[in-house]
Structure 1
Amino acid sequence: MGTFNEYIKNVFPSIDEDLRQYVEGVLENGADDFEDSDEVYEAVGEVLHEISSDKTEDDIKNICNELLNMLRPERSAKSNGSLKILDGPIHLGSIADNAGSNVEEIKSIWVAQRDDTLKVNAKKLEKAEAKLQEKQEKRGKEIRTVAAPKLQTASASQVINKKESKLEAKGNNRAQDIRIENFDIAYGDRVLLQGADLTLAYGRRYGLVGRNGLGKSTLLKMISSGNLKIPSHISILHVEQEVIGDNTIALDSVLECDTVRQSLLEKEKQISAAINSGSNDPDLNTQLSEVYVQLQNIEADKAPAKASIILNGLGFTPQMQQNATKTFSGGWRMRLALARALFSRPDLLLLDEPTNMLDIKAIIWLENYLQNWPTTLLVVSHDRNFLDSVPTDILHLHSQRIEAYRGNYEQFEKTKNEKMKNQQREYEAQLQQRQHVQEFIDRFRYNANRAALVQSKIKMLEKMPELKPIVKEPEVVLRLPETEPLSPPILQLNEVTFYYSKNKIIFSDVNIGATMDSRICIVGDNGAGKTTLLKIIMGILSPSAGTRHVHRNLKFGYFSQHHVDQLEMNMNSVEFLQQQYRGKPIEEYRRQLGSFGVSGDLALQTVSSLSGGQKSRVAFANMCMGRPNFLVLDEPTNHLDIETIEALGKAINKYTGGVILVSHDERLIRMVTNELWVCGNGSVKSIEGGFDEYRKIVEQELEAAQAK
Structure 2
Amino acid sequence: MLNVSNVTYQIGKDILFEDVNLKFTKGNCYGVIGANGAGKSTLLKILAGKLPTTRGTITMDQNQRLSFLEQDQFKYDEFTVIDTVIQGNKKLYQIMIEKNEIYAKPDFSEEDGIKAGELESLFDDMNGWNAESDAAILLTGLGIDVEKHYELMKDLSSNDKVKVLLAQSLFDQPDVLLLDEPTNHLDTKAVLWLENFLMDFENTVIVVSHDRYFLNKVCTHIADIDYKQVTLYAGNYDFWYESSQLMLRQAKEQNKKSEEKIKELQDFISRFSANASKSKQATSRKKALEKIELTEIRPSTRRYPYINFKYEKSLGDDILKVENLSKTIDGVKVLDNVTFTLGKTDKVAFIGLNDKAATVLFNILNEVDTPDAGSFKWGETVIKGYFRKDNNFEFKKPTVMVDWLTDYSKNKENTYVRGFLGRMLFSGEDALKKINVLSGGERVRLLMSRLMIEEKNTLILDEPTNHLDMESITALNKGLQEFKGVLLFTTQDHQLVSTTATRLFEIDEAGKFIEHIVDYETYLENR
**1:228-263 superposed Cα distances (whole Å, 9 cap, x missing partner):** 365487856254343458454433322233322222
**1:18-59 superposed Cα distances (whole Å, 9 cap, x missing partner):** xxxxxxxxxxxxxxxxxxxxxxxxxxxxxxxxxxxxxxxxxx
Counterparts of 1:259 and 1:469 in 2: how far apart (Å)? 47
Counterparts of 2:271 and 2:214 in 1: how far apart (Å)? 59
Aligned to 1:154: none
Cα distance change, pair 195–599 in 1 and its aligned pair in 2 (3 A): same
Counterparts of 2:144 and 2:409 in 1: how far apart (Å)? 43
Q: Which of these residues, 63, 85, 92, is aligned with residue 261 of structure 1?
A: 92
Please identify, of 210-219 and 504-513, the stretch whose mean Cα deviation from structure 2 is larger. 210-219
Q: Which of these residues, 272, 284, 299, is aligned with residue 444 of structure 1?
A: 272
Q: Is the counterpart of residue 597 in structure 1 residue 425 in structure 2?
A: yes
| Residues 509-524 of structure 1 mapped to structure 2, 5 A cutoff | 509-524=337-352
Report which of the two has the higher share of helix. Answer: 1
Q: Which of these residues, 2, 22, 38, is aligned with residue 199 of structure 1?
A: 22
Q: Secondary structure at the match of 1:385?
A: helix
Counterparts of 1:647 and 1:691 in 2: how far apart (Å)? 21
Aligned to 1:697: 526
Counterparts of 1:182 and 1:352 in 2: how far apart (Å)? 20
Would the aligned equivalents of 2:265 and 2:289 in 1 still touch at CA under 8 Å? yes
Report which of the two has the higher share of strand. Answer: 2
Counterparts of 2:354 and 2:119 in 1: how far apart (Å)? 41
| Residues 504-583 of structure 1 mapped to structure 2, 5 A cutoff | 504-525=332-353, 529-551=357-379, 554-563=382-391, 566-567=394-395, 573-574=401-402, 576-577=404-405
Aligned to 2:514: 685
Q: Secondary structure at the match of 1:597?
A: coil
Cα distance change, pair 341–429 in 1 and its aligned pair in 2 (3 A): same
Aligned Cα root-mean-square deviation (Å): 3.6
The alpha-carbon deviation at position 297 of structure 1 amounts to: 1.0
The alpha-carbon deviation at position 631 of structure 1 amounts to: 1.8
Matched positions, count: 517
Q: Which residues of structure 2 form unaligned runs of 5+?
A: none
Would the aligned equivalents of 2:76 and 2:84 in 1 still touch at CA under 8 Å? no
Q: Which of these residues, 177, 202, 207, is aligned with residue 3 of structure 2?
A: 177
The alpha-carbon deviation at position 476 of structure 1 amounts to: 4.0
The one-letter code matched in structure 2 to 1:201 is F
Q: Secondary structure at the match of 1:177?
A: strand
The one-letter code matched in structure 1 to 2:84 is S
Would the aligned equivalents of 2:400 and 2:435 in 1 still touch at CA under 8 Å? yes
Q: Which of these residues, 346, 352, 364, is aligned with residue 192 of structure 2?
A: 364
The one-letter code matched in structure 2 to 1:517 is T
The alpha-carbon deviation at position 334 of structure 1 amounts to: 2.5
TM-score, scaled relative to structure 2: 0.84
Aligned to 2:53: 228
Please identify, of 325-334 and 390-399, the stretch whose mean Cα deviation from structure 2 is larger. 325-334
Would the aligned equivalents of 2:400 and 2:432 in 1 still touch at CA under 8 Å? yes
The alpha-carbon deviation at position 459 of structure 1 amounts to: 3.7
Q: Which of these residues, 343, 352, 355, is aligned with residue 171 of structure 2?
A: 343
Counterparts of 1:596 and 1:457 in 2: how far apart (Å)? 48
Which entry has the higher C-alpha Rg, 1 or 2?
Answer: 1
Cα distance change, pair 474–245 in 1 and its aligned pair in 2 (3 A): closer
Cα distance change, pair 182–253 in 1 and its aligned pair in 2 (3 A): closer
Aligned to 2:147: 319
| Residues 97-496 of structure 1 mapped to structure 2, 5 A cutoff | 176-184=2-10, 193=16, 195=18, 197=20, 199-203=22-26, 204-212=28-36, 214-217=38-41, 219-220=43-44, 225-228=50-53, 230-231=57-58, 235=66, 237-243=68-74, 246=77, 248-274=79-105, 277-279=106-108, 281-343=109-171, 349-448=177-276, 451=279, 454-468=282-296, 476-485=305-314, 487=316, 489-496=318-325
Q: Which residues of structure 1 form unaligned runs of 5+?
A: 1-174, 699-708
Percent sequence identity is 25
Which has the higher relative contact order, 1 or 2, with Cα contacts under 8 A spaced 6 or more apart? 2
Would the aligned equivalents of 1:677 and 1:685 in 2 still touch at CA under 8 Å? yes
**1:466-507 superposed Cα distances (whole Å, 9 cap, x missing partner):** 3346878776421224152454544333223332233x3334
Cα distance change, pair 650–460 in 1 and its aligned pair in 2 (3 A): closer
TM-score, scaled relative to structure 1: 0.65
Would the aligned equivalents of 2:4 and 2:20 in 1 still touch at CA under 8 Å? no
